[in-house]
């Protein structure tokens, strides 16, 4: 194992897991365009070297989903929709400028 420091100021994890209707899951309420839009917005702003957007498996709070967590800042966003993209970008901008 090689221990390395992350090259990113923040890593955004978006849960898109779905359980196919068996019980509530983040993927039930997430717009399939959310991840590509977030990645595109990060790229357009030139933040790609500093911010990483990744898909996540279950984050453990499916009933509050869709969920995004931003680390290492320990920011947790729940019930995320496309309407929240500007606020998410504002949060990331604060992290970049810090």
pLDDT, tens digit (0-9, with 9 covering 90-100), for 16-63: 888 777 888 888 867 778 999 999 999 999 999 999 999 998 888 888
Range of the domain at 63: 13-97
CATH label of the domain that carries residue 92: 3.40.30.10
Whether residue 22 is contained in a domain is answered as yes
Strands (E), 16-84: 51-56, 68-71, 75-77
Asked if residue 84 belongs to a domain, the reply is yes
Q: For residue 92, tell me if it sits in a domain.
A: yes
The CA distance from 61 to 68, in Å, is 11
Give the model's pLDDT for residue 29: 66
β-sheet bridge partners, residue 77: 68
- For residue 42, tell me if it sits in a domain: yes
Asked if the structure places residue 4 within a domain, the reply is no
Asked if residue 1 has pLDDT above 90, the reply is yes
Residue 91: pLDDT band with limits 50, 70, 90: very high
Predicted confidence at residue 23, as pLDDT, reads 83
In a domain, 62, yes or no: yes
Structural domain includes residue 1: no
pLDDT tops 70 at residue 78: yes
* Number of separate domains in the chain: 1
Task: Report whether pLDDT(68) > 80.
Answer: yes
């Amino acid at each position: 194992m090689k221990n390395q420091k992350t090259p990113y100021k923040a890593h955004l994890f978006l849960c898109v897991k779905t359980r196919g209707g068996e019980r509530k899951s983040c993927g039930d309420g997430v717009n399939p365009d959310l991840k590509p839009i977030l990645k595109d917005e990060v790229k357009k702003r030139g933040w790609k070297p500093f911010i990483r957007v990744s898909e996540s498996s279950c984050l453990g709070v499916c009933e509050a989903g869709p969920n995004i967590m931003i680390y290492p800042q320990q920011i947790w966003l729940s019930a995320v929709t496309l309407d929240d993209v500007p606020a998410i970008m504002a949060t990331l901008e604060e992290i970049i400028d810090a």
